[in-house]
Each structure stands twice: as structure tokens, then as C-alpha cells.
């Protein structure tokens, strides 16, 4: 099973950006975690990160064309990007929305995600472990 792990704006700054909120795990370590988890589960995992909204939309279109599963952390685009939301709605494979922090305990504007309504599931507040759990869920979707 092909799984794209797509990360949006500012996630390339993990480990240095607001470590009290996002932790000290670097983006490189997150990629390593996802790739190792995928390999253990027999998933073909490809990780990408961008600070360009249009690039993320293009990757979502690619995933839709390939009927691939997606683990998505859209970052701040979660809260207002209808372009990302509409691209997610085109997916026919499962979409797991992941947030490192608990968006529901943060600033009011972060409490709502426009992506959640088109996601298969949402994981929030479990740190980078949320990515591992998302990949395990996708594995069980196809094997159970």
C-alpha cells in the first residue's frame, strides 16, 4: 500500500519551533520514524514537507490519481485552507489528519479544522507518535 505522509507549513522547523508545544523531535527524525514504521508494516511510505500551499495541493492531486492513502498534517492550513480541503475531498484512499499538538486546547482559531470533515480519522495531541498510530491504522484497514 502506498502512503504519502504530507506535512504542511512550518513543519520543517520541528525541533526548533515552539518546542514547548511541538516537542524536540526534528523533522528528519519524524521522517525516519515514519519510514521505519512503514517498513515494519510493509507500507510504501513517502514523506514530504512544504511551506507552499499550491505544492501541497499538487501532492494531494497526485495521491488522488494514484488512489493512495494519505497521512496529512496541514499545519495552519488546517484552519482556513479550502483549497487543501477540496484537494483532500478528491482522495478515494483513506486520509488520516494528524496534529502534533492538541488543537482543541490551544488558541480559539485552532479549534476547528476544515480538513476534518473529509478525513477518515483525526489524531491530535499525541506528539509525533500520532504519525505512527496513523500508519498502524492504515495497515489494519487493509489487513483486518
Secondary element (H or E) of residue 73: strand 69-73
Q: Taking all residues of the chain, what is their mean pLDDT, rounded to a whole number?
A: 95
Catalytic residue among 99, 104, 112, 131: 99
Does the pLDDT at position 21 exceed 90? Answer: no
Cβ neighbour number for residue 58 with a 10 Å cutoff = 13
Of the residues 22, 61, 67, 137, only one is catalytic, namely 22
- Residue 96 labeled ligand binder: no
Antiparallel, parallel or unpaired: β 69-73 and 95-99: parallel
pLDDT surpassing 80 at residue 27: yes
> Is residue 86 a known part of a binding site?
yes
Is 101 known as a binding-site position?
yes
pLDDT of residue 143: 85
pLDDT of residue 119: 98
pLDDT of residue 142: 82
Average pLDDT over residues 32-55: 98
Residues 6+ apart with CB under 8 A from 123: 96, 97, 98, 99, 130, 133, 134
73 is in an annotated binding site: yes
**What pLDDT, on a 0 to 100 scale, did the predictor assign at position 129?**
97
> What pLDDT does 34 receive?
98
- State how far the Cα of 135 lies from the Cα of 129, in Å rounded to an integer: 10
- Digit-coded pLDDT (tens) for 93-142: 999 999 999 888 887 877 789 999 999 999 999 999 999 999 999 999 98
Q: What is the pLDDT of residues 48-71, one digit of tens each?
A: 999 999 999 999 999 999 999 999
Query: Among this protein's residues, is 22 annotated catalytic?
Result: yes
Enumerate domains of the chain plus CATH numbers: 2-143 (3.40.50.9100)
82 is catalytic: no
Amino acid at each position: 500500500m502506498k502512503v504519502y505522509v504530507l506535512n504542511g507549513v512550518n513543519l520543517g522547523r520541528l525541533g526548533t519551533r515552539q518546542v514547548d508545544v511541538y516537542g524536540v523531535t526534528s523533522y528528519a527524525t519524524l521522517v525516519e520514524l515514519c519510514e521505519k514504521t512503514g517498513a515494519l508494516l510493509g507500507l510504501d511510505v513517502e514523506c514530504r514537507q512544504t511551506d507552499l500551499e499550491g505544492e501541497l495541493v499538487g501532492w494531494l492531486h497526485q495521491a488522488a490519481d494514484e488512489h493512495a492513502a494519505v497521512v496529512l498534517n496541514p499545519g495552519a492550513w488546517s484552519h482556513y485552507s479550502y483549497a487543501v480541503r477540496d484537494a483532500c475531498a478528491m482522495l478515494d484512499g483513506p486520509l488520516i489528519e494528524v496534529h502534533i499538538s492538541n488543537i482543541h486546547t490551544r488558541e480559539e482559531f485552532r479549534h476547528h479544522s476544515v480538513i476534518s470533515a473529509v478525513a477518515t480519522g483525526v489524531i491530535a495531541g499525541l506528539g509525533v507518535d500520532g504519525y505512527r498510530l496513523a500508519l498502524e491504522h492504515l495497515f489494519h484497514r487493509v489487513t483486518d
